[in-house]
Amino acid sequence: MRQMIQEQERVANNLANVNTVGYKRDRTFTEALDEYLDDEGAPRSERLTAQWADAAQGPLESTGNPLDVAIDGDGFFAFTDDETGDTVYARAGRFTLDAEGTLRDLAGRSVEGDGGPIQLPPSGGAISISRTGEITVDGQAVGTLSVVTFENPMQLRRLDGAAFDAAGMEPEPVDNPTVMQGFVEASNVDAVREMADMIAYYRQFESQQKMLQTTDQILGAVTRDLGKF
């Protein structure tokens, strides 16, 4: 029953992020270890549950916004938290410009380029982002988006929403990234599938609950009957 509660929480979080740009659905795998029968002949086992983010690509949606960028294929954008200095990684490419012309994500983190945070001219101009991630303003190159990958993306640790921590792994640059300007990657959550899973977990929890109630009633009746002898 505890496992079903955890699964319900995971599914509920996936459904809550069905419209979050770049979100990767959480998945779990439970492994039964050290299976044995206890003194009363009941089966017992130690259960190890692992949770990870499904790295499958979500659908690319056209927005027409020049500061919306999606990665078609492998890779993550890199962002730096100005307050902590920590670098996080995400596929959410919905960017904005601050008053100084620094390219940032919606959480206020600066977008990393090959040589550090990307700075655009405050005077403005037509922004163009090539398929390799090179950014130009009125034809002048200002930087190239940093697109990185990891040896095992499944080991990335979720921080919030679509952002991940490297969990000790070293990022490796993607040799030939495919960057799409004017697009964002939608969440890879399938709402119908998640709803079906939620119903299934609820039914399993309900059946276990009824089993416990029935067992409790039987034990109660036995206790009362034994008291008559």
88 and 139 assigned to the same domain: yes
Is residue 32 situated within a structural domain?
A: no
Cα–Cα distance measured from residue 182 to residue 61, given in angstroms and rounded to the nearest whole number: 9
Domain range for 120: 60-185
Give domain status of residue 54, yes or no: no
Q: Answer whether 211's CB lies under 8 Å from 204's CB.
A: no
Q: Which residue has better confidence, 47 or 17?
A: 17
Looking at the fold, whether 75 and 160 belong to one and the same domain comes out as: yes
**126: exposed, middle or buried (C-beta count within 10 Å: 0-12, 13-18, 19+)?**
exposed
Model pLDDT, residue 169 = 94
Same domain, 110 and 169: yes
Indicate the number of domains in the chain: 2
Q: In this structure, are 212 and 161 located in the same domain?
A: no
pTM of the model: 0.79
Q: Which tokens sit at 191?
A: 């709402």
Q: Is residue 166 part of a domain?
A: yes
Same domain? For 79 and 157 the reply is yes
More confident of the two residues 126 and 41: 126
Residues 211 and 104 in one domain: no
Question: Do 204 and 112 fall into the same domain?
Answer: no
**Inside any domain, residue 142:** yes
Judged against a pLDDT cut of 70, whether residue 126 lies above it is answered with: yes
- Is residue 141 classed as helix, strand or coil in its secondary structure? strand
Interacting residues of 6 by C-beta distance below 8 A, sequence separation 6+: 28, 49
